[in-house]
Amino acid sequence: MNKRKTVIGVVTLSIAVGAGWALGFFDRIDPEVAELQKLRNEAFERRDQMSEEQRRAQFHAIRERVDGLSEDQRREFHEGGRERFQEMMVQRMNEFYELSPEEQTEKLDEIIDRMEERRANRDQSGGGGRPDRGRGDMTAAQRDQRSKERLDRSTPEMRAKMDQFRDMMNDRREQRGLDPVRGGRGMFGGRGGRR
């Protein structure tokens, strides 16, 4: 009789745990983090329709709220952002490579124009803009580790596409008499670094 009660208890507990997991009770995202992720995703979706000032204000407001989160909440927020950014880059890369060569050149020119406009705005404001937010304090080993983690999250196919895109971008910049860029950020509206 005791054995039967034990088995029934274990089965009931297993069902309850399984149902809780299926309903998201154990892997539930923090409501404040979920709200900020939703705001960030909406801002990314609309960013091509916003002016530079509107984009800056929108992301600044989100950044201020993120700065008020606990360390665990910030980690959860940024992890979701990395996944979203990766999905967005794959989509944009695929769209770019489906364009004709003439359309690709037009797209590269649009991206270069936006990058140069942002650079000019930063220069005009005395090099202000967003601080490096901790990257400047990183050691070489920490920067290498962060780069390795970024690579681990991407596929070889995606890395090859990004490398090819960067080469195309730099060839087009050279044709226009501009310095090359390094890295992949900034190529579709994010921040781009210079060599």
Over the stretch 1-38, which tens digit does the pLDDT of each residue have? 566 766 666 556 566 555 554 554 444 677 888 887 88
Over residues 34-79, the pLDDT tens digits come to 887 888 878 777 777 877 788 888 888 888 888 888 888 888 877 7
Q: What local confidence, expressed as pLDDT, does residue 101 receive? A: 95
CA–CA dist 100, 160 (Å, integer):
19
Structure tokens at 150: 């970024």
Q: What is the pLDDT of residue 194?
A: 42
Chain segment 89-142, per-residue pLDDT in tens: 888 889 999 999 999 999 999 999 988 988 888 778 765 544 444 445 567 787
Position 103 scores a pLDDT of 96
For 168-175, what is the mean pLDDT?
95
Contact 195, 179 (CB under 8 A): yes
Mean pLDDT of the chain: 75
117/178 Cα distance (integer angstroms): 13
- Which of 41-45, 79-83, 154-158 holds the top average pLDDT? 154-158
**Which pLDDT score, from 0 to 100, does residue 58 have?**
83
Task: Say what the pLDDT of residue 137 is.
Answer: 58
CA distance 162 to 151: 12
- Per-residue pLDDT at 189: 45
Q: What is the pTM of this model?
A: 0.54
Instruction: For residues 12 and 10, give the distance between their C-alpha atoms in angstroms, rounded to a whole number.
Output: 5
48 φ/ψ angles, rounded to the nearest 5 degrees: -70, -20
